[in-house]
Amino acid sequence: MDHIFPIPGGTLHIETTEERLPLERLLAFAARANPRRPYLFVSKVLGRHIPCAPARMRETYRLLVEDLLDLPGPVWTIAMAETATGLGGGIAETLARRWQREDVVFQHSTRAPLAMAPMLVFSEAHSHAPGHLLYPPAEPLRNRFRSARTLVIIDDELSTGATVENLLSGIIPLMPALSRLCMVNLVDWLASARRAQIADSAAAAAGRPLTVSWHALLTGSFAFVPEPGFHPGTLPGDVTPATTPAAPARGDLGRRGVLMPAEGLAVTRHGIGLPASETAASIAAIGVGECALPSFLHAESLAAAGYRVTVQCTSRSPVKPGGAIAGSLACEDPYQQGVGYYLHNPPGDRATWLVVGESGAGGPMDAHPRRLHRMTAAPLVPQGVLRT
């Protein structure tokens, strides 16, 4: 099916070959402040740039894991920072619950340094922030990593496949028991020939045949046609870290792996000072940067208690106003590297903003104190609450 979507600076032409969910339910569109890639596919089910109900997010995870029955274990999942950190955690968590597994581990790449050397550095060439870090698994998970027979790579979108190919070339040689590779995405734009090329590259990295499968809610192809005279501009000056963080980021929330399903992250209204659900206006659970899975799990627990809740997260991605982005708030860098952060499509002033971070730094509470009367912070996720 053919679709045409105007965005600031040009037009996106999309041809879909399969829509397990209709394109209009999955995607909206905007323009990046990025000359490497001036358009942006904005997910409606990710809980990142567009607020999304946690029930809708969980439904998305369930649809994707229905294909992942009978995977040989242990199962190691890796999600791409920063956009897919919540998606990856939600899929890994749902996979463990749906198929009653105790051998699923979730890890995500990061752009926030830890107090150790990374296991792997790889590149996302078209990104405003191309460098990805992948850290060694936590000590209790190292045997699971080396014995993992299934690797699941999770991202919101697969466009050229270059980033995942870079990851696979580095990670597969470190996994000697690997026999199965699953590529899980909300949207997959790859042609079949490119998929075959990536599968061959993975087998070459392993030095043996691998069973490779591809799973997405929408597949197809696209082309961006710029307007005459269109110039995408330059990247903002604060997309590259300018300083070493004052303190290393946390490794216990996914950067070094966590065992699924997640336990112990539910919050109660008494713990965060919310009014009773029948008197409360809507709640916006706002994850700070890569801290996306906790914001989803907090929101889900509040929705189960009767609250009207949505999820979204701050982001390093500089996006132009227009299309799917009605407005943006500048936020402080939670990792103290001098990088620009934004809350796109911020909630209205009538909503209570529940800010979910890993350290208490950054996020809209620091940048917009005049809104503090509408904000509250979830308790910081305690060290060790997610199992390793």
Q: What's the mean pLDDT when you consider all of the chain?
A: 87
293-304 helix and 85-98 helix, angle to the nearest 10 degrees: 60
Distance, CA of 300 to CA of 89 (rounded, Å): 14
Torsion of CA 296, 302, 303, 304, to 10 degrees: 110
CB atoms within 10 A of CB 250: 18
| Neighbouring C-beta atoms of residue 140, cutoff 10 Å | 11
pLDDT at 364 (0 to 100): 58
Residues 183-220: pLDDT tens digits?
999 999 999 999 999 999 999 999 999 999 999 999 99
Q: Which two tokens stand for residue 148?
A: 């993992």
19-28 LR contacts (CB < 8 Å, sep 24+):
19/217, 19/218, 20/63, 20/216, 20/217, 20/218, 21/45, 21/60, 21/63, 21/217, 21/218, 23/218, 26/186, 26/187, 26/217, 26/218, 27/187, 27/218, 28/323, 28/324
What pLDDT band is residue 336 in, cutting at 50, 70 and 90? confident
**pLDDT higher than threshold 50 for residue 371:** no
- Alpha-carbon 251 to chain mean position: 16
- Beta-strand pair 309-313/283-287: parallel
Token output for 76: 């190691």
Per-residue pLDDT of 212-236, as tens digits, reads 999 999 999 999 998 887 777 666 6
Q: What is the pLDDT of residue 122?
A: 80
Where would I find the H helices in 247-383?
269-272, 293-304, 364-367
Answer whether 278's CB lies under 8 Å from 352's CB. no
CA distance 115 to 135: 10
Q: Please give the share of the chain, as a percent, with pLDDT higher than 70.
A: 82
pLDDT tens-digit readout, 313-334:
999 888 889 999 999 999 888 8
Predicted local confidence at residue 359, as pLDDT? 76
Q: Are 163 and 192 in contact (CB under 8 A)?
A: no
pLDDT of residue 250: 86
Dist. CA 25–CA 27, nearest whole Å: 6
pLDDT at position 386: 66
CB neighbours of residue 193 within 10 Å: 7
Which of 66-70, 265-269, 336-340 reaches the highest mean pLDDT? 66-70
Confidence of residue 373 (pLDDT cuts 50, 70, 90): very low
pTM for the whole structure: 0.92
